[in-house]
Amino acid sequence: MKRAVISLFAGTAVIAAIAASGAIAAGPEAPSSGKKVWMSTGSERDEALKLTPNAENGKDVYEVCTACHMPEGWGLTDGTFPQVAGQHRTVIIKQLEDIREGNRDNPTMYPFAKPSEIGGAQAVADVAEYIARNLKMNPKPGYGPGTDLELGKKLYADNCVRCHGAGGEGDAEKYYPRIQAQHYAYLLRQYQWIKEGKRRNANPDMVEQIKNFTDRDTQAVLDYVSRLPAPPDLVGAADWKNPDFK
Ligand code: HEC
Ligand code: HEC
């Protein structure tokens, strides 16, 4: 393709432009355009992770989020909106920044979460702290059909435990999300998007790990994950209401 372009437009300017763009010089290992190295540094994310958070301001920032994620942070069991309650602060910062930086397509949320709407790195640090510290998790998330849980359990043990942990608790230090007790339909959508590369800053080792999963495997493992219970101290009562947004 590149050769064809060059022979068609044999002017030196065109060749120079292509060479300067790196398309010729770069070897086959180079990431394709738009794709970044996972957790590459130098972004607003790094700044937000280092700032001292102010949970009180985080409460004010969170107000706009309640419209979709609900005051309790439970999202919707049909998976339209994920549960954010219980998520690690570091993961919330990473994902929120990926959305703000266009690494995750989220046209529904973006207008409400962009810098001109909620502010810069400090606002991100603050709202993440508020969510992680104040919101209790949904005791009844959306589950899958429940018909293939033995397979799901086995697949989970073989393919997921090393990063997401035996109980799906994730790892705050490594930006591995808590996935236990997340809505099944949301897990399905994100898993698919990570597999297809639609989430452009997703962990490449996970993409590799799941590349041969069939539809049956995917449904089985995520049904199993949605049913993994969160630690009791993180979970709210069925009638828990966030007192900050009554
Ligand atoms: C208009 C609705 C809407 C608003 C307002 C909104 N969100 Fe979201 N949010 C979404 C949707 C939809 C998704 C899932 C997008 C997807 O499927 O990739 C999401 C995803 C997320 C995620 C990623 C969760 C995960 O586990 O992958 C985080 C974190 C998040 N939102 C935080 C926030 C915060 C903080 C605010 C307020 C500043 C906010 N959202 C406001 C709709 C919204
Ligand atoms: C090498 C580590 C690793 C392995 C193995 C791995 N994951 Fe992940 N997973 C991650 C990371 C890191 C993310 C966050 C994606 C990102 O970087 O933005 C993630 C994200 C996810 C998400 C999206 C969560 C959200 O809230 O958006 C789901 C669902 C998920 N993983 C399920 C699984 C399942 C099921 C398996 C096993 C079949 C698995 N993962 C194996 C590291 C891993």
Beta carbons of 146 and 223 less than 8 angstroms apart: yes
The CA 146 to ligand 1 mean position distance, Å, reads 27
Distance CA 217, CA 223 (A): 10
pLDDT in tens, 193-235: 999 999 999 999 999 999 999 999 999 999 999 999 999 999 9
Beta carbons of 160 and 206 less than 8 angstroms apart: no
Residue type, 90: T
- Which of 39, 200, 206, 226 to probe ligand 2 with, by most ligand atoms within 8 A of CB? 206
Per-residue pLDDT of the chain in tens (246 residues, 90 and over written 9): 333 333 333 333 433 333 333 333 333 333 344 555 788 878 999 999 999 999 999 999 999 999 999 999 999 999 999 999 999 999 999 999 999 999 999 999 999 999 999 999 999 999 999 999 999 999 999 999 999 999 999 999 999 999 999 999 999 999 999 999 999 999 999 999 999 999 999 999 999 999 999 999 999 999 999 999 999 999 999 999 999 998
- Ligand 2 atom closest to Cα of 39? 17
Verify that 2 and 71 share a domain, yes or no. Answer: no
Domain of 10, in residue numbers: 1-30
Verify that 162 and 125 share a domain, yes or no. Answer: no
Please indicate whether residue 66, judged by its CB atom, sits closer than 6 Å to ligand 2.
no
Verify that 54 and 128 share a domain, yes or no. Answer: yes
Question: What predicted TM-score, i.e. pTM, was given to this entire model?
Answer: 0.89
Bridge partners (DSSP) listed for residue 171: 176
pLDDT for 35 equals 53
Verify that 80 and 25 share a domain, yes or no. Answer: no
CA atoms within 13 A on the CB side of 97: 28
Please indicate whether residue 191, judged by its CB atom, sits closer than 6 Å to ligand 2.
yes
In this structure, the chain runs to a length of: 246
Distance CA 120, CA 160 (A): 34
Single out the residue in 106, 138, 170 at which a domain terminates. Answer: 138
Beta carbons of 129 and 61 less than 8 angstroms apart: no
Please indicate whether residue 69, judged by its CB atom, sits closer than 6 Å to ligand 1.
yes
Distance CA 144, CA 221 (A): 10
Beta carbons of 87 and 169 less than 8 angstroms apart: no
Query: Does residue 24 sit within a domain?
Result: yes
Query: Does residue 158 sit within a domain?
Result: yes
The CA 203 to ligand 1 mean position distance, Å, reads 19
Please indicate whether residue 84, judged by its CB atom, sits closer than 6 Å to ligand 1.
yes
Distance CA 81, CA 27 (A): 40
For 90, other C-beta atoms within 10 Å of its C-beta total 21
Q: Indicate the SS3 state at residue 110.
A: helix
Query: Does residue 92 sit within a domain?
Result: yes
Residues 206, 30, 9, CA angle at the centre, nearest 5°? 135
Per-residue DSSP letter, 105: -
Tokens of 194: 């990570």
Report in angstroms the alpha-carbon separations of 163 from 58, 77, 95, 173, 179: 29, 25, 17, 11, 11
- Which of 49, 109, 112, 134 to probe ligand 1 with, by most ligand atoms within 8 A of CB? 109
Please indicate whether residue 106, judged by its CB atom, sits closer than 6 Å to ligand 1.
yes
